Structure 1
Amino acid sequence: MPEPQAASPRTPDATRRSERSRRAIYDAALALVTEVGYARTTVEGIASRAGVGKQTIYRWWPSKSAVLLDAYLDLAGQAAGDAQGGPGGQDGPEAPGLPDTGDLAADLRAVLRATVDELNDPRFEAPTRALTAEGVVDPELGARFVKRLLEPQLQLYVDRLTAAREAGQVRDGVDPRVALELLVGPLTHRWLLRTRPLTHAYADELVEYALHGIAPRQA
């Protein structure tokens, strides 16, 4: 009888191995920025923490800021996936539109409260601060941060405020791009400077002031 042949060894899946390395690098970058801050985070430190060679990182990214940006986008994608009950990731689901229940004030309060929760979340706070600060001194990084993360989020406000204007809930002539800054601008200012706690109550006040102004109301 012929001898049974040994099973041929499986060829290693380079795609899976690369994905595991990429995931480890993302986790390492986010962890280090949270633990030691952006200034003390290095490509060497990320590589050591992730268990990969430094050359592996430089093969995919030109700098630690580029690593952190992709890691942050992946984290945001994971969070969006969790919120929708589906898969997340850097190429995961698109952010859902702002709620449109017909009550503009209630919808804006819900969104700003969720933003407060995210900004206060330790997973997001350190990398968001790092990318915001680095984007000021690195225009290329700042432009990528705006294009890939901030602009899509701001467009959701534009769409919701435009729908409210068409429904007669916002007066004609209001520019949604300016109007949204009345909401997200003060929120970001308080968070960046840590002037006072960022709370749901503050988010609700911003909606009230943005929609009704600060001038005395006529009886």
Structure 2
Amino acid sequence: MKRSFIKALFLTVLLMSSPTLLHAQEQESFQKLVKLPLRAGGYDSFLTLMRININESRKEEGAISFTLFGKDDSYTVYLLERFKNKTAWEKHKESVYARSTDGISPAATMNLLEETTLKEIPEIPAEDTEEIAPEENTQNSIEWFTVAPNTKTAFIEVMGKAIPKARNATGNLGYNIYQNADNPNEFIVIERWKNPEVYQTHLQNEYSIQLDKELEGLITKDTNHRKEVLKNISE
């Protein structure tokens, strides 16, 4: 009898909490960073189709931003897509233009694409990125950090002090940090700057120098700590 009562109570609490949990999930933004190592022969056609996808996706009510990054000397591109919640992203994936891009991705990338689902960090919420035209001379970077579990809180605190200063720096177009949804010890920082000159000035500012010092000992020394300097090739 006692076990039946406890089981019933547990089910009642679960049912009562589920709508709240679902509501909380609906309030969370949804981000994906997709690495697409394209074949040389398929690069131009894929880029044309992807740009149509980006242009149409940006019109969706649930979309926050859609940006494609790449290099002049590389056929590997990175797609950052941000939506107001996961439901909006799932609706987007059913669109004709999204399905068309997904349809040719396996052949264009030789099945080597990598997807990372990103979570906002409550202490350092993401902000909208300023768009400028033309984008050819902008400086963009994606940097991966892996921290030990016991240094994660300290890492977030250190980044939380530096990021507002970087966002207020001259020429900054956006500076956001995300957590890997599948690996809570991995963080991805995406910076956007008006041009390489203001980016170099940012690196020499006191807050950047202090950030480098405070990160010592917090980041694990492994191959996951890498940085890509890229161009915005969305248009």
TM-score (norm 2): 0.30
Which has the larger helix fraction?
Answer: 1
Which has the larger strand fraction?
Answer: 2
Structure ID, larger Rg: 1
Q: Which structure exhibits the higher relative contact order, with contacts defined as CA atoms closer than 8 Å and separated by 6 or more residues?
A: 2
TM-score (norm 1): 0.31
